[in-house]
Amino acid sequence: MNVNTQTEVMKNEPSNGKGAQRYLTIVTVFIITLLFYVNVKSGNNFIRVEHPSPFRTQIFNITIIRKGILIKPQKVDYFICPTFVGRIGNKLFLYASSYGIARSKGMKVVINTNCELLQYFTLNADIRKDTSICHSRNVKTIKEEHSAVYDKRLLDFDNTHNVRLVQYLQSYLYFDRYKEEVRNQFTFSDEMIKKVTLLLDNKLKGYDIYRNSTYHKNHKYKYMKVYNETTQKKITLIGVHIRRGDWAKYPDAGYNVPTKEYLRKAVEWYQSRTEHLVFVVASNGMEWAKDNMPKNITTIYLEGNPAWVDLAAITLCEHFISSSGTFSWWAAWLTGGNVTFFKWPAKEGTRFRTAYSKDYKDYYYSHWIGL
């Protein structure tokens, strides 16, 4: 029912007496009927409906009459506003957890067009140039207690207003129910995959390795499939991320950086289960990484790339050795396969330790292997 269009048509009719007049009458009656209908409805502009989620939801359909023109009914949703801070790993947690919470409430995440994640991923969010709705007075702000502990209070609101979630939301429990949806959104573009495939090809040159196809065809999120040129045996790529940087620089902050011992144990964990391994290492402390990775294995080092490129490249591996920090966490999650992690990332008795639960179970999946 588009009154506008009909009015247009009417205007464009050649004025040929009766025909036009009859047409005008029909359209007028139509409009009057429509306006009457809308008026009857507008006594009850807000219509309460049941949302098909297990949670009770209100969605408002508002019919707006402006200058006698009927505007298409608009659906007014309520939003969850993540409060983005930090770098890649922080942002991925903030988006994924906000998405999971929003999804469970029948709400949408609203993000600004300048959000870094949008340069790499297609997100199922309400993306706006103007996100002032996240800062208006009637937005409810809910603060987490600990940054890496699943906090049920964060879900304790009803979805009839906009909500700002503060702040880190570093627990997979916020989004695990929708992990497939999150994974689909966190998928790199074909262009990026092509780029990092070439990058790995170049690194693997000289190692007697060839790539058969770009991806493993049976694996939904595709990893590189490579073979030993001489033996034709399949080679398994193990991604490794070694967090250094600020974690290594400020030991008093309570950070435990992965040790040489951990790297050895993790490498051996894979060696004892799989043959023909190649380790693909990314780190923000490459010198230390090179000095401390076990020596008698085939290792390639990703150097001089933006962190996003490193992330895309290591996630083409089949399994993962993670260390500490959220970048490592996400590299592991996106890679899938087997994941080892360094236990534990926080020094006992420090303030940083309180970010995590006692057993770290809200942060690390129970099927990940702590070494």
Ligand X SMILES: *[C@@H]1O[C@H](CO)[C@@H](O)[C@H](O)[C@H]1NC(C)=O
The answer to whether residue 294 forms part of the interface with ligand X (CB under 6 A) is: yes
Rounded CA-CA distance 2/151 in Å is 48
Binding letters toward ligand X, positions 21-60, x by CB under 6 A: --------------------------x-x-----------
Q: Which stretch binds ligand X (CB under 6 A): 10-18, 230-238, 247-255, 281-289?
A: 230-238
Which amino acid, one-letter code, is at 97?
S
Which amino acid, one-letter code, is at 22?
R
- Identified binder of ligand X from the candidate list 207, 288, 308, 360, rule CB under 6 A: 207
369, 269 Cβ separation under 8 angstroms: yes
Number of residues that bind ligand X (CB under 6 A): 22
Q: Are strands 60-62 and 74-76 parallel, antiparallel or unpaired?
A: antiparallel
* Residues of span 135-194 touching ligand X by CB under 6 A: none
Q: Where are the alpha helices (DSSP H) in the chain?
A: 3-12, 18-42, 88-105, 179-185, 190-204, 245-249, 260-271, 286-292, 307-314, 326-335
Burial class of 76 by CB neighbour count within 10 A (0 to 12, 13 to 18, 19+): exposed
The answer to whether residue 337 forms part of the interface with ligand X (CB under 6 A) is: yes
- Residue nearer to ligand X on the CB measure, 132 or 232: 232
Which amino acid, one-letter code, is at 17?
G
- Identified binder of ligand X from the candidate list 58, 83, 298, 350, rule CB under 6 A: 298
- Residue nearer to ligand X on the CB measure, 26 or 47: 47
* Residues of span 65-124 touching ligand X by CB under 6 A: 73, 75
The answer to whether residue 129 forms part of the interface with ligand X (CB under 6 A) is: no
- Min dist CB 189 to ligand X, Å, is 25
- Residue nearer to ligand X on the CB measure, 81 or 332: 332
Rounded CA-CA distance 314/169 in Å is 24
- DSSP-derived secondary structure for 101-157: HHHHHT-EEEEETT-GGGGT----SEEES--GGGTSTTPEEEE-SSTBS--GGGG-S
- Identified binder of ligand X from the candidate list 3, 10, 38, 61, rule CB under 6 A: 61
DSSP code of 365? -
- Identified binder of ligand X from the candidate list 66, 296, 358, 359, rule CB under 6 A: 296
Q: Which stretch binds ligand X (CB under 6 A): 23-31, 150-158, 292-300, 308-316?
A: 292-300
* Residues of span 263-282 touching ligand X by CB under 6 A: 276, 278
Which residues of the shown chain bind ligand X in the complex (CB under 6 A)? Answer: 47, 49, 61, 73, 75, 207-209, 212, 228, 230-231, 235, 276, 278, 294, 296, 298, 337-338, 367, 369
